[in-house]
Structure 1
Amino acid sequence: MIDLSKPRWIKAGQEIEISGAKIKDGMLYIGEVPRNSASAQTDYGPELINLALDIAPMGQFTMRQTGYWPSYDALAPSGRRAYLHWLSEGRRHKEADPGLVFLFFYGLERRILTSPLPLTAERQEEWQNIATELKALLKTYGPRSPSLAGYISRLLEWMEDFQSATDKNVTPKSLERFLIPEDTEEADLPKAWQQIWENIQQTYPYPRAKRTELPWRLRLALGQISRDAKPLSPPMALAWLHYHPDTNLRTPAARCPKQFDQLFMAHFAKNFPQWMRLLKSRTPLKKTYSPASHALQFHPALKMEFSDIPDISRLKNGLSKLEDIAIHVCDQLDLYSRALSKEPNDPENMDLQILLPFMLWPEGMQIKIKDLTDKITQQGAETYCFHEIFEAINPQPEKDLTLPKRLSLKQIQVLVESLKSLNIGVEPIPTKNAVDLSEKYTFFPYPFQENENQEDIPAFTQLFLQLGVALALSDAEGVNPPRREFLEKQLLSADFSTATDSSLRLMQNKAHILYLSTLSSTKIFNLTKKLLPNLELTQTQKILLLNRMIMQAKLTGMVSIGAIKFLEKIYKLFDQEISTLPSDVSRGGIDAPAPKSKTRTATHTLQLDLEKIEEKRQATEAISGILDHIFNPEAEKEPPSPASIPVAPEIQAEESSDTSQIFPDLDTAHRKMAQALIAKTEWDRTEIEALAEKFDLMAEGALEVINDAAFDLYDAPFIEGEDPFEINPEILEQFQA
């Protein structure tokens, strides 16, 4: 027999009868307290079933029986009967007054909050019974009363959190969903990270929502990781970053969350190979509970402190490191994010996918580009245009790519970085603001080390390679193996390399030879003329280059007519006396200039052998005549002297006009041709060819040079089309202004 002369707790499973109502499953506070006694509310609360109060014989629990703050004392006698009837019916009737359910819940809440600590085995079992009852109430009455559902959920969370923080048997299980299994293979780590991150999001949805504080369970997990000296895993680092109220991530993190999360975890693992060790905060972890019962508002158990678990949510050092990684990740996703904002309905478009770092590419594209890089590695180096690269990695070759003629430099740089991650370099390094997808580049294999980057080949070396390849292309042999070997051997000499040159630089030099081999001799010569003004070559350097060209021309013993003509162009370019070319070729080079004497003496005077000078002059004229007869067989035998050639007035006017404002980096001939082209907006091919001939230029090469200059200045072509050709109206307006 249970003594009910004073209030007491009826355990789960105990049966009790009150005024004819048999309550079989206990979990109630029952007892007798004198009527109107203040202690009934202050000591026990509104949930106490006071046997001193009247109970009516009838009461309907499906009718509204309670006010805003339910209390057994405040119920009418019929309301008390309704409450006892509901309890005796098993507490699961869905139509019951929610206030009666709250009244019962107050008792469970008091029992949990007033439990003495640490919990005994008996109390732990009681907590399990109460948790089971709370979950059943939540399932039955939660859909009908959101307020009741919220209070029940918070009490369950409080119980789980307390046990996770204090019970050594529960703590490892609570951390399992946040920790990477120790036996996970390295190849499976990204999948394991993703699974942990999904577990975290299931626990706390909407990771990017603004919060006033870090979720308590996440603080608990981070504190336990810090206490146990465990490393912070990539998904836990990502959770700390996302859920912390002080972080402010840029647009890419919100616009492409999946890509951001994957890339962040990968970079975190890269920056912290052993993962991050958390410092221990001196502030202990605390938890506060807001009760449903007004009688418990000031109960001391509402605030709990876990002295052995540090609260790391206030540590700024670790969070700042995560924010630095996030900034870097957003930088990598910036182009993709901007493009996605313009094509939000087609995120799988290859135009967008190529803007992602390689590790985020779809599997089909990754397989395709690995096949391509394997081919490049086997061949040693290959020349492709970027359009061919995109065609090769297209995961759906049956669909035609709709690529523009040019892509921005930033877009191409993303692809170059992806290739670099696969140990493939690109030569030359793309630098134009708008990269023509049809232009050839050399792709070469190289094992890039951490933070190892390509740099532009020194200008003097570039000049040597340009001259050497252009000379090789001046005859039918082209850049054959002996000539390539000659150029590569010269690059190893002290004239063009230093002891500090890396193996990457040597690979770049070889790749640059292959790249230049795809260009025409005219195109290369135009590049040379554009490069020269920035070099300020000394006479010694000019002679060094000319001697190397003469050596190359004589590799096979016979110097071709094409080589002689090209050497003449170089002699003119370097202000070298052309009349000495035959003898220089015969001797195998030019003598280095003799050093100037510091003192002048009367005994050494300059003596000229006039007979030998005349002999040299006649020999030069004879050779020039032979060459002229070969290359100009239909020319007049006795051409008029330059002084007798009439000059058309309009040409004189063009030559006298100021063209320095039109593409100032171009040479005079190309600048004058550009000046002539802006006279009208449309040109036929025959007109273009006549105009190019007028300025002693090749039509195709001249247009290419002028367009290159336009891209450097305006990021747009100067002239477009095939036949007719059209002048870019935007550039035309600037010239005519």
Structure 2
Amino acid sequence: MARKNKPAAAIGLAVIALLGLLGLVALPVSDWWWFSIAIAGAAWLIYTVATSMGSAAPVATAARTSAAAGAAKPASVGPSTMRPGPSVKRPAAVRAPLEGFGPGMWIPQGQAVSVADVTIPGGLLYFGTSLKTHNGSIDPCLIDPSKEVAARGDYTARDLGSWPSYSNISPMARRAYLNWLAGGRSDPAANVGYVYLFFYGLERRALIDITNEPESRNDWPIIIKEVWRLLGIYGGKSPAFSASASQLLNWLLVCERPSKIYKNPVPPFPKTSELPLYIRFALGNAVVDGVPIPDHLALAWAKLDPDVHLRTPAIRCADKFDTLFMSHYSKAHGFGMTVRQNRTTLKSSYRAASPGFHGLSEFKLNFGELPDISVMTAPRQKIINIVDAVTKELEPYSRAIGRNPEDYDSLEGLLHLPANLWPESARSLPAQVGEEFLVAPFEELLACLEVTTPFTSDRGPALTRVLQALNLGMAPEVVNGSDVPDGKAPIVLFAMPPGEQIAAASPNFQAGLLSLQLGVAAAHANGSFGDAEITHLSSQIHAWTQLNANHQRRLMAYLRLLIDVPVSLESLKAKLSQLDAASKEFLAAVMSSLLQVGSTPTPEESKMLEKIYEALAVQSKPDPARISGLRRDTSKVSALLATIFSEEEPPPVVRAPVEPEYEAPEPEPGLLGLDAEHTSVARMLLSRSRWRRDELHDVVTDLDIRLDGALERLNNASFSKYGMRFTEGDDPIDVSPMVRQKIEGNASS
């Protein structure tokens, strides 16, 4: 640059010399002195300016060269600033160029960058001072380190407009965005606009860079994982972001056309205004392969098709709905529903969230002859029929937990469920019990029934009903107000004939139970309880004709329990000591009438009666005539036994008041109130912004309707609801973006 300025200085001096010569000729001699001084000063000024320009130029060149060199080295990306030479003074409004910040570049996962004293870990973003879109504007996702950043910023505030761009948002918003990125992009309180700014970069990397950088495809698994993570945090907060994230995931998961995708578990896509492309591809893949639609894919179709309406039970009891749906589906279709191949082929176009894509042609995916069976109404109706049947079965359970949410996994809730939704461990209990008895700790029974909350006596009746539904009984019984067995304490389960109800505890049953307890307790106390006593008591129970079969089974279970856990004789005597002498004699007579089967007692009966008399402190044996009369005086027997077996009633359990169950109103039958066929046409049209007329021919042929008539109905329905047409034009046919936006908003709300 100094050499280029020397000719300019020479020309300037030559001009000054010529002017001086002319002045000397024209001016009088007296003025020559002052004129010569002026000419010399002008020449000196020209030379000084030219020289200073030559010396400053190399500094600016060095700055530009250094910046270019830094841009060529990805590893040098970072916030270093260049210090200009001391002779250079720039106006305060002009920023010094930043070394290393050339064209925007993708920062890979795991690499950190810093800007405005904020370190951003993790990568997966664009960084630099220039990243053009197709129309020459700066891509909104680019983090430009030359932009002003405020000292503070709140990423929970709503200070972002529509279509945010890092270059155009305020300095405070930039600080907020950088803080959100530095925090790991995980704070659920963040304004979703900042999430979109980051998401724009993922869209660009996945869909635009692939054109010139085939290796960018290696980032797809990382991008997919990150979008799933963001969807889990922010999808519920923003239906619009949920739809955008779901669309990108669907696109990346199927664009390589994986084979036999119908065998894989369906990812947890959110429900949006259209059936996910992944599911449509998997359904078509199954049809082409000639295999039935598997149950897990049918379930995903049922839950994610916007034209399959899930009512409150299916939403409130989602896990139980899933299990019951698959059971019904298997019963109705065996290994799966078989669907014929239709004429409509699967196509898809991507509607980007980033404004950096505006004006670009649509990204389209064609899948050859792969059919799109989601446009067919018959298969969907079969899915709807199963959904309705399952929902009806779940209604009692849904209402129960709507009133008492704590009953979701309780015994009370279990009683409202279909048997095939009971825990497998509970359903297997009858097989474990068999025809005999099953002795187990009480806590194991509760574990089999998946009871996770503390068990109190007020839940005893529910436990009895649950066991009865399994054709089982239990000893000891837990009734409201009775003692609850400790977790390690043994209980005895026994089989009951199907349909048999637990008989109420009659006086004879209570007398028999007390006799067993007294007899076993006394025998244990005397050290004379063994197999002979057990055999005798068993035969006695079966010989007590005053008891029905249900009572006899229960007493046999109690006998089995008493073998392991005999009742303390002292505790029984303490209860009986509260009776007066007349009542004790009366009770002795009652038990004698039960235990003595014949007219005269056998030696074994006499031995047991003696133990009972001893426990009751009765001196003489009851008169046989009195025994005969007692068998008819059941009311007196009941009153006496009630004083022995009664327990202090606990205070009633007061449940917290709950709001009455709210059932969501039934949605309209189809999109815009249309029937199933025209709803299918509308859904297909919404998947793209423009269609050729011939592309829709197969769709209407599959549905057996006319295209012009279908478009007229769609436009009339749209105008009635939104005041605007659904489509414009005859060929091509353009779908109204405003109508699409309203429909997607309604589906997400």
Band the TM-score falls in, shorter-chain normalisation? 0.3 to 0.5
Q: When the two structures are superposed, what TM-score results if normalisation uses the length of structure 2?
A: 0.35
**TM-score normalised by the chain length of structure 1:** 0.35
Higher relative contact order (CA 8 A, sep 6+): 2
